[in-house]
Chain A
Amino acid sequence: MNKNKAHKPATSPSGDLTEGEGADRADREHAETLVRRAQNGDLDAFEALYRMYVDRVYAICYRLTTSQSRTEQLTQDVFVLAWEKLSTFRREAAFTTWLHRLAVNAVLQDQRARRRRRQREQVTEDISLLAGATPAPALESRIDLERAIAGLPERARTVFVLHDIEGYRHNEIAKMMNTSIGTSKAQLHRARTLLRKALVS
């Protein structure tokens, strides 16, 4: 992920959920112990990991989907998947980074499935800026920004969240979204332009 961006998100762009900045060494060691126990089938240890990281997983799923019910379902899916794939987790990477990537992939996979369904129903996916039920809000607060992001077209929103909030690089985003770096850059430009216009409207 992007470690050298000129404009960095306020939190760690490494993708670590909390380890990157907030958690100290003792917390990381505690998490590693829990991961080892969970890998040996200890469901209580896995529950402790869930409690540590659910807010972070929920936040990324929510920003990418903008739907509470889908976010709840996806958050559940991510932790069930994490349990099933724990044996494949190697400690070269932080558990939080691994879990974060699982969450992003789960959301992207869900988006692709939904997109295919929509295509079958011949509904155009490319909605216009902030074309939700509510009119574009003035960006006077972070809540307004959340709302404006939620109103972006899906792909633009996804790239904006991954790049400008989560700190992924374009090459990482392109790989995760099965698209090109150029498309990722174009969608980011689109998202920023739309949000900027909403900001000044």
Chain B
Amino acid sequence: MTCRDTQRLMDGYLDGALADMERAVLEDHLAACSSCREVLAQLKALLDEAGKMSMTKSPPRDLWPAIRSRIEERMVQTADLKAGMRRFVRPAYSLIAAAAVLLVVFASVVTLRLSRDGLDSLEIFQAEWSRGLITIAAMEKQYAGATEDLVSSMGEYQESLPEPTRKVIEDHLQMIEGAIEDSRAALADNPSDAELQSMLSTTCHQKVALLQWTVQLTTQY
């Protein structure tokens, strides 16, 4: 065994992770090699010193006021978001119920301009993001592209929708866009926050779903 081989094994030796055979070979070499014994003694001294290092260190200033302020800010944001989502979810149910009636009535003549495929492909991007394969920004870009396509598909047909329906859709879109903006702003402060990323992803998805449904609705007027 060379000195180089021996020194490679020293980590495992010091950590008690060598097999009996490896340890015996290494110890044979050490018995005959003073320079490797010296290296081992130096490593042992280093690890002894590292083991004595303090496990605590006081911050130079009190960090609690800043932490408390951030927590309280989050609590307010969460409460606002929950209130916003409650406002959205309730009317959304009535909207979906109305849509169901309309779809049944016009089922025989409706040709849906967009199939569910569009949303499915976005869900693939969402899955890729959740597995860490693409960034939140890349996923958001996909949603932005889909949003643009849908708005363009709607075009002037949106005008054909009854005024009350259009108003409800616009209100919902505004709320979702508000939630998207809030998530983006919060993410700007804390870009790695997984829950904020998830919230942004969810709200983007809701926006596309609502737009897609609206496009489908416009085909019936």
User: B-contacting residues of A (Cβ < 8 Å)?
Assistant: 4-11, 17-18, 43, 46-47, 50-51, 54-56, 58-59, 62, 68, 71-72, 75-77, 79-81, 83-84, 109-110, 113, 139, 142, 145-146, 160, 164-165, 185, 188-189, 192-193, 195-196, 199-200
Contacts and interface: CB of A to CB of B under 8 A. Distances in A.
A103 to B, nearest CB: 12
Nearest to A61: B57
Given A55-B58, A75-B59, A139-B49, 6 more contacts: A59-B54, A59-B57, A145-B46, A189-B8, A192-B11, A196-B39
A9 to B, nearest CB: 4
A7 B47 contact: yes
A171 B13 CA distance: 17
B68 A43 contact: yes
A7 B42 contact: no
6 contacts: A10-B52, A47-B68, A54-B63, A58-B56, A192-B47, A200-B42
B190 interface: yes
Contacts of A164: 47, 50-51
A55 B192 CA distance: 24
B87 interface: no
A62 B63 CA distance: 14
Contact of A56 (B45, B56, B66): B56
A72 B63 contact: yes
A80 B71 contact: yes
Contact of B51 (A7, A51, A139): A7
Contact of A11 (B17, B47, B55): B55
A60 to B, nearest CB: 8
A75 B67 CA distance: 9
Contact of A10 (B51, B57, B61, B71): B51
Nearest to A167: B51
6 closest A-B pairs by CB? A6-B16, A55-B56, A59-B57, A10-B51, A9-B51, A11-B55
B64 interface: yes
